[in-house]
Amino acid sequence: MIKIVLEDDRSLRLLQVVLDPRAPADMRAAYADYVAHDVDLTQAIAQLSTVAPRLFPASVTLVKDQAALRQALPGTQVLMMETLHVGHEELAAAPDLRVIQCFGAAGSGVDVAACAARGIAVRTQRRRTNVAVAEHAMALTFALAKQLPFINGLVTPQRLAGRHQPLRAFDTRHTPNANWARVGGLRHLNEMTLGVLGLGEIGSEMARLAHGCGMRILYHQRHRAPVATEQQFAAAFRTLPELLAQSDVLSVHLPLNASTRGLLDAGALAHLKPGAFLINTSRAEIVDYAALVAALDSGRLAGAGLDVMHREPADESDTLLDRANVILTPHLAGGSRHNRFRDFSEMLAGINTDLG
């Protein structure tokens, strides 16, 4: 059997179930249930086996960190990773390594030159889930700018009156009848400024979409991106206070860790441009809950679109519910489970080819 070392990430871990018949039964059952609303796991595995027959079955070892990676590399032919690093030390421990598959489009954690010198193929994957998250973030942005939660169904005089806005007809002998409901405050994204907090895999996809809408793109992250990346997405770096003060829309695309937990607290949100929108499809804990509510109550935040909640499922007592300027979705920005299996199909087919 081909030996595969797999970074122990909750997204990548599914590949152990796909490839290794010795995967724990409880893990297999958990993932079968996790994908069931979109995908039949047994059928998906059978289909994947046809595109990568050299990999079925495989011996899959999960590793959580660099030390575990180096220990597992001897005898390994394939490494599949997302955040780990591969340099000279790791390559020295992997005399049989033939393919490195990065679960992402960047591949920045791999010494590509050293791999090329060894004849090791390095593959990347533009993840469909990342594209879907960016699409969802843009959808939330559009919905807030166009006030879709407020105006949905607002097409009869009775419903208009129910919003305390009785119909006042225009004099259409002279004027058009556009916006006969007289909804004020509508915005258009063209020429608005998007602040991307984290120009990584998903933040870059968000910048790509927003740039296509004619938005000005600013970003902030711990380390400034290469000039080529900034040029690719027409993005300009700002400090965090500058980003907050200059953005009409702030979209959060950071991982949750000790340095980002509570990053957007009351002090940070005080720098927000008045009337801005906040979009969070990353992790709820990056934004302090009380500070978020206060910013909405004060009007500094004109609205928020959140795919992640501090409690999932949320409680009916959550003060964010039933606000016309807050859109809440149940952590589904990643889209269909089919996205993951399409990515797996491309990755496994490529690895199968590289193994010769």
- pLDDT for 106 equals 81
| Tokens (6 digits) for 172 | 């259409």
List the chain domain ranges.
2-125+337-354, 130-173+185-324
What CATH class is the domain 2-125+337-354? alpha beta
- With H, G, I as helix, E, B as strand and everything else as coil, classify residue 86: strand
Residue type (1 letter), 129:
T
Residue 126 appears among annotated catalytic residues: no
Residue type (1 letter), 259:
S
- pLDDT for 107 equals 77
Are the CB atoms for 175 and 104 separated by under 8 Å?
A: no
Residue 230 appears among annotated catalytic residues: no
Q: Characterise 335 by phi-psi region: left (phi > 0), alpha (psi -120 to 50), beta (else).
A: left
- With H, G, I as helix, E, B as strand and everything else as coil, classify residue 302: strand
Per the CATH hierarchy, to which homologous superfamily does domain 130-173+185-324 belong?
NAD(P)-binding Rossmann-like Domain (3.40.50.720)
- pLDDT for 286 equals 98
CB atoms within 10 A of CB 227: 8
Residue 283 appears among annotated catalytic residues: yes
Task: Tell me how many degrees the CA angle 9-342-61 measures, rounded to the nearest 5.
Answer: 35
222 by Cβ neighbours in 10 Å (0-12 / 13-18 / 19+) ranks as exposed
| Tokens (6 digits) for 330 | 């149940």
2-125+337-354 and 130-173+185-324: same fold? yes
Active-site hit among 10, 311, 312, 316: 312
Which segments of 103-239 does DSSP mark as H helices, in order? 112-118, 128-145, 148-151, 157-162, 201-212, 227-232
DSSP 205: H
Sheet strand arrangement including 121-123: 58-63, 2-7, 78-81, 99-102, 121-123
Task: Tell me how many degrees the CA angle 76-77-80 measures, rounded to the nearest 5.
Answer: 85
Short-list 103, 130, 104, 84, CA closest to 14: 103
Ranges of the chain whose pLDDT falls below 70:
none
Instruction: Kindly report the pTM of this predicted structure.
Output: 0.95
Active-site hit among 208, 331, 342, 346: 331
Active-site hit among 187, 238, 283, 300: 283
Longest dimension (CA), the chain: 83
